Amino acid sequence: MLEMFYGCMERIDSKYLIYPKQDQNPDNTRLKVFYTNDWHGQTDNMGGILGASLQFDSSTKGQKLDTLKLVAGDTWSGANTKKNNLILNLMNYMGFDACALGNHELDAGTKAMLDVVNNSKDTKFVSANLKKTDGTELNNITKSFIKEENGNKYGIIGLSPLDLKTVVAVEKIPDLDVENFEQTVKSAQAEIDKLKSQGVNKIIVLSHIGKDLDEKLAQSLDGVDIIVGGHSHDKIKGAKEGENLIRSKSGEPVIILQTGQNAENYGILDVEFDINGILKSVSNSVIETNKKKSSIIDNIRDAEIGASPQVGNIKEIDPMPENRKTQPSQWTALVADSMREALNTDVAIINSANIRKVPQIGKLTERDVEESAPMKNDLLKTQMTEEQIVSGIKNAAYRTYGAVDGYPGLLQCSGIKYTIDTNGNLLNLSFVDKEGKETPVDVNNPSKTKTYSVALDSFLANGKEYPEMVPKYQVEKFNFDKDTTAINSLKKRSDKDGLVIKDDGRLKIVQTSQGPRQSSNMRNI
C-alpha cells in the first residue's frame, strides 16, 4: 500500500499532504514545480497565469529548494502565428523550462509550428514519440533534456498525443507520424535510460496523451517520478493514493498531474526526493487563476499583434458552464444564430465543446469573439432530413450523459428547441422558423423525407465524433468560420452597446427520477 510506503496522510483543505515521518532527511532534495496545460490560446486568462507565475517566483526566492516551470502542451490554438508568437514570448518571459508538443501547436501545420518554436529563447519544446515520415529529426524539438538546478539534475521528456492524426487535419501534417502507445512506452523508456546513464535519477514526463493513458504509462515505465499531463482536460487535485499517486513498473511512486484547460487553473507541486531520486513526500495544489481582464496583457497584445476592433459592449452574460459539453450556453446559441443568419439556413448546429470560452462583461472585441471559437473550421451548408437532425441530437445527448466526462458533448442549435433528461433521453423537439413559429416533431418517428437547410462546420461534418452529422446531400463550402459570422452579426445589432446574453430556454435539461447511466469514459480533446 502506498500509505504504508509514505507514512501518514493528513487532509488539509483540498490538498493531501503525505509526510514520510520515518524518512525525513536533510540530504533529501526538495523541488517545487509551477505547472499548467492546455491554454488553448486564451490570452485573456494569461494575466492570471502571469500573476501566479510572478507570485511563485517571489514565494520561492531565497528558499532552499529547486524550482521548475512546466506546461504540458496546447499552449496556443489556431493558425494565427502572431498570436502564437505572443504566447511563446509570454512563456519565455515567465521562465517556463519546457513545453510538450501538443496537437494545437500543429493547427497551422509543421512549418508554421517550427517557425514559432524556432523563436523560443528559453522554453524547450519536447516530444519523444513524434517522428518525421522521412526519418529525419524535427529541428528544435528535442526528445528529452537535462535541467540542472543547484547542482541537482532533472530529466524532462515530452510526449505528443497518440490521436494526433485524428485531432489535427491530416493535410496540415503530412510529414509527421506519431507512435502508438506501445511504441511510445519504448521511446519514453529509452529516454529515461539515456538520462539515467548521464547520472539523472529525477525524471519528469510532460505528456499530452490524456489522463487514462498517463496512468497506464506510469505503470509501464521504470524510472519516472512525475507526469505533468494534458489533452484530456482533467483537473487533478491533491495526491490521491491509487488514483494520481501510483506505482511505476519498478514499484516506485509516481505522481500524475493536470490542471484542466483554457488557463483557468495552475498547479503547484512540492516534492522531496531521497538520494536515490525516489519520491518521499508529495504536496499538490490546483489553484484557480484570476480571470479578470489584465491591462498588462491587453497592452502587450495590442503592441505585438495590434489593437482589436470593438464590436459591442456586454451588459449581462451567462458564464461558461462548469462542463460546457453537458449544459446549455447562451453564448454558443448566439454564435449558432449568427451562422444561421449568415448562411441563410433553417437550422445551425454546433458541437458544444467547440466554443472554448465566454466573453466577460464590458468591452467586447473581435479578438474576444475569435478566442471563444479558436478551432477555425470552415462553415458548410447542406440539406438534412428531419430524421438525420433528430438522430444526431438524440444520439449526442444519449452518449454525452452516458459518459463520465460528457464526451462527446451536446449539440447546440439555432432554429431548434429541445428538451432532454439527465440520462440523455430526448423528450421533445421543435423546429423554430425565423418568425419564431414552433413546429413540434415526433422524436420517435421523425420524417425521412422532409428536409431543412443546415449550417454546420467542417469538424462536425467529418463524422469522427458525431457520425450522424455527416452530410448526405450536396454541400456548399465557405472559407470562414463561426467567429466571422458572430462578429458580423454583433456589429449589426441595435443593442450592441448593451448586450444581454442570457439563457433563452432553447435547450432544456430536466432531472430524471431514474438512476444515472454511465457507459463510457471517452474524452474530448
Instruction: Give yes or no: residues 198 and 122 share one domain.
Output: yes
Instruction: Examine residue 302 and state whether it is found in any structural domain, yes or no.
Output: no
CA dist 489 and 52 (Å) reads 36
What average pLDDT does this structure show over 434-439? 96
Torsion of CA 260, 262, 264, 269, to 10 degrees: 50
Confidence at residue 385, expressed as pLDDT on a 0 to 100 scale:
98
Residue 23, pLDDT > 80, answer: no
For residue 497, being part of any structural domain is answered with yes
- CA-angle at 152, arms to 150 and 156, nearest 5°: 120
d(CA 324, CA 379): 21
Tens-digit pLDDT profile for residues 234-249: 999 999 899 999 999 9
Whether 274 and 316 share a structural domain: no
159 domain residue, yes or no = yes
Give a yes or no: residue 482 inside a domain: yes
Let me know whether 177 and 56 are in one domain.
yes
Query: Within this chain, do residues 122 and 252 fall inside the same structural domain, yes or no?
Result: yes
What is the domain range of residue 260?
A: 25-288
Instruction: Please tell me whether residues 281 and 322 are part of one structural domain.
Output: no
Instruction: Provide the residue type at 268 as one letter.
Output: I
Q: Which of 288, 323, 350 is the last residue of a domain?
A: 288
d(CA 379, CA 122): 38
Confidence of residue 515 (pLDDT cuts 50, 70, 90): low
Looking at the fold, whether 350 and 450 belong to one and the same domain comes out as yes
Instruction: Let me know if residue 459 belongs to a domain.
Output: yes
Q: How many domains does the chain have?
A: 2
Q: Is 223 found in the same domain as 124?
A: yes
The pLDDT score that the predictor gives to residue 21 is: 46
Look at residue 524 and tell me whether its pLDDT is greater than 60.
no
Domain CATH number, residue 318? 3.90.780.10
Instruction: Say if 16 falls within a structural domain.
Output: no
Judgement on whether residues 377 and 501 belong to the same structural domain of the protein: yes
Residue 71's domain is classified under what CATH number? Answer: 3.60.21.10
**Backbone phi, then psi, for 54, in 5-degree steps?**
-65, -40
The answer on 277 and 425 residing in a single domain is no
User: 144 and 271 in one domain?
Assistant: yes
Statement to judge: residues 385 and 273 lie in one domain: no
Return mean pLDDT, the chain: 91
Average pLDDT over residues 370-380: 89
Q: Is residue 264, in this structure, part of any structural domain at all?
A: yes
Q: Is residue 313 part of a domain?
A: yes
Q: What is the DSSP letter of 151?
A: T
Per-residue pLDDT, 517 = 53
CA distances from 8 to 111, 257, 272 (A): 51, 21, 15
What would the pLDDT profile of 386-420 be if each residue is shown by its tens digit?
999 999 999 999 999 998 788 899 999 999 999 99
506, 435: one domain: yes
